[in-house]
């Protein structure tokens, strides 16, 4: 049976960013069929090639972050390189960049300049603080966005300094918003025929998920603080120790679910206890309630406790490491761990495509290009029509 057409086939994306936020947007678009052309300066690889753990000298993050992308080299600091990018822009739908604001303008590659060449061009711009405002010229990493967006202050335990989440959540959140904005602009272009700028900022992307942080303060005089494993006023929703010395997560703060939890614990009367009978009462008596639940979980191995909770329809689960993820049959059934052939490492495991589409799902065809400029000839000769001797000359001049 012939393979289905991927939903973003026909879109050509030029990815100019490095590290995380911009390239993660490129990865998401490439997963669903967009032709993403990853640009690196000749002789200066994207640091992501070497970040994280490695095996046999090969970085293990790069094959995931740059999967499905084509790799070319191009020196945007030189006029010849800028002119080549302009030729690429004529053939492109989208440019992704995550440099500090003003960098593209300094290279004579502003949106105004590029949109004159291709009025349908969409430019996705990601930076620490956005393209306007008093902070626009500041350098900004995901960590700063997480801090100034409000996330770091509510992460960790109250008696300890603000903590970070164990992944680069500021960057990936921004990439998600950038991708949404990009696809919104693509849809709008079908009506107007015109491109536009998608302006995403790290701090804004983090701030946008901070729930009622602002009205909590402005209307109720409450500043959210670090609360460890709980949410203020929401109980029970915590981690609980078990007989075999592990932790499980239980979330049973809704009235009906809490009643089922009490039945699972063999203490149905707790759901009628005035201290726990309502959402507000459970929030007020959170510590006592959590201690009662943990008395029960500590009498059982995690597997047995989770089986009882599942039978009663109480949301619960283990706290997974990579080991548990790989052993979980649900991950396997949902194709969330896939294997892609890597030219140096062979069978390479990586996360599957999210979200799942019923008719035209995304696909990972290949890992990130192991060699910079692997697709130079395909792009410069086949797409732009350069002669081979012209390409060799550009290589000698360190333009590509």
Closest alpha carbon to 197 in 113, 135, 84, 73: 113
Alpha helices by DSSP H, listed for the chain, are 21-31, 62-65, 79-90, 103-106, 111-117, 142-148, 169-192, 202-207, 213-220, 255-264, 279-284, 286-297, 302-311, 322-327, 329-333, 376, 388-396
For residues 35 and 267, give the distance between their C-alpha atoms in angstroms, rounded to a whole number.
58
Check if the beta carbon of residue 206 is closer than 8 Å to that of residue 145. yes
Enumerate the active-site residues.
Answer: 171
DSSP letter for each residue of 65-111: HTTT-EEEE--TTSHHHHHHHHHHHHT-SEEEE-SPTTHHHHTT--H
Q: How many CB atoms lie within 10 A of CB 19?
A: 17
Closest alpha carbon to 61 in 41, 43, 47, 40: 47
Closest alpha carbon to 152 in 166, 134, 164: 164
DSSP 231: B
């Amino acid at each position: 049976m012939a393979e289905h057409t991927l939903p973003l086939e026909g879109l050509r994306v030029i990815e100019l960013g490095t590290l995380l936020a911009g390239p993660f947007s490129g990865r998401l678009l490439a997963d669903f069929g967009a032709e993403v052309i990853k640009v690196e300066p000749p002789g200066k690889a994207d640091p992501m090639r070497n970040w994280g753990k490695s095996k046999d000298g090969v970085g293990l993050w790069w094959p995931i972050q740059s999967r499905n992308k084509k790799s070319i080299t191009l020196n945007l600091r030189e006029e010849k390189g800028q002119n080549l990018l302009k030729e690429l822009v004529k053939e492109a739908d989208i440019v992704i960049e995550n440099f500090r604001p003003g960098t593209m303008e300094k290279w004579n590659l502003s949106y105004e300049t590029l949109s004159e060449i291709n009025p349908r061009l969409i430019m996705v711009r990601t930076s620490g603080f956005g393209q306007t405002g008093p902070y626009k010229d500041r350098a900004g990493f995901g960590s700063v966005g997480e801090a100034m967006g409000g996330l770091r202050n509510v992460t960790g335990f109250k008696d300890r300094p603000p903590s970070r989440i164990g992944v680069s959540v500021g960057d990936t959140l921004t990439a998600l918003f950038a991708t949404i904005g990009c696809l919104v602009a693509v849809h709008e272009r079908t009506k107007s025929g015109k491109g536009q700028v998608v302006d995403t900022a790290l701090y804004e992307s983090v701030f946008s998920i901070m729930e009622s942080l602002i009205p909590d303060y402005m209307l109720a005089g409450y500043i959210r603080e670090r609360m460890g494993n709980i949410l203020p006023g929401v109980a029970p929703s915590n981690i609980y120790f078990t007989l075999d010395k592990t932790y499980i997560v239980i979330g049973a703060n809704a009235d009906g679910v809490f009643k089922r939890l009490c039945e699972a614990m063999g203490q149905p009367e707790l759901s009628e206890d005035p201290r726990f009978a309502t959402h507000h009462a459970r929030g007020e008596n959170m510590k006592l309630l959590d201690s009662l639940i943990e008395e029960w979980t500590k009498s059982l191995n995690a597997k047995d406790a989770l089986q009882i909770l599942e039978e009663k329809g109480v949301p619960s689960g283990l706290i997974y490491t990579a080991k548990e993820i790989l052993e979980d049959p649900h991950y396997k059934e949902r194709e969330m761990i896939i294997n892609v052939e890597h030219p140096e490492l062979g069978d390479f495991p990586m996360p599957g495509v999210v979200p799942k589409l019923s008719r035209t799902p995304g696909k990972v065809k290949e890992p990130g290009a192991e060699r910079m400029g692997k697709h130079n000839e395909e792009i410069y000769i086949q797409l732009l029509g350069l002669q081979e001797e012209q390409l060799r000359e550009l290589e000698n001049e360190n333009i590509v």
